[in-house]
């Protein structure tokens, strides 16, 4: 007999989605660094650089992990394992490939989704009907 804890998988996928939304909002509004420019009179002017002051195409780097995590949460809610795995792999790849810019902010979300995939995997029960076969003689 096998069982899957889809409720736990859903909650971890939800946590991953909430993390992506929070990380995206913080990366959008908080300053990422300082920019120094020189005026025509020779004075140096410092300004804070954030993604909200950048061009609109930079929003894709914040929206992609949110959309992928939403797909993972939908898959966990509908008990669909393969879309959950695919979305998890894509979020993890985004976090690793974008690690030098915004990707590191999404590593916890990738970990939440990995745990969600593990919670959705099938587990064998002991033949006598106990909860698990672990720790039996």
> pLDDT by residue (tens digit) across 63-83?
999 999 999 999 999 999 999
With respect to residue 99, please indicate whether it lies within any of the assigned structural domains: yes
Q: What pLDDT sits at residue 58?
A: 73
Full residue range of the structural domain in which residue 88 is found: 2-124
Contact between 133 and 14 under an 8 Å Cβ cutoff? The reply is no
Q: What pLDDT sits at residue 10?
A: 93
Residues of the chain with confidence (pLDDT) below 50: 1, 137
| CA distance readout (Å), 15 to 49, 58, 72, 118 | 29, 24, 11, 15
With respect to residue 129, please indicate whether it lies within any of the assigned structural domains: no
Q: What pLDDT sits at residue 41?
A: 74
Number of domains comprising the chain: 1
With respect to residue 17, please indicate whether it lies within any of the assigned structural domains: yes
Q: What pLDDT sits at residue 127?
A: 59
- Tokens 């879309």 found at: 83
């Amino acid at each position: 007999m096998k069982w899957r804890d889809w409720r736990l998988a859903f909650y971890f996928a939800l946590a991953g989605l909430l993390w992506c939304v929070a990380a995206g909002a913080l990366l959008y509004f908080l300053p990422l660094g300082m920019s120094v420019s020189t005026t025509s009179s020779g004075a140096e002017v410092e300004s804070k650089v954030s993604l909200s002051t950048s061009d609109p195409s930079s929003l894709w780097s914040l929206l992609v992990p949110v959309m992928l995590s939403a797909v993972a949460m939908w898959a966990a809610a509908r008990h669909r394992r393969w879309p959950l795995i695919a979305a998890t792999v894509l979020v993890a790849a985004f976090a690793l490939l974008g690690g030098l810019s915004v990707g590191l902010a999404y590593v916890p979300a990738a970990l939440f989704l990995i745990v969600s995939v593990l919670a959705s995997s099938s587990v064998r029960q002991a033949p006598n009907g106990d909860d698990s076969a672990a720790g039996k003689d």
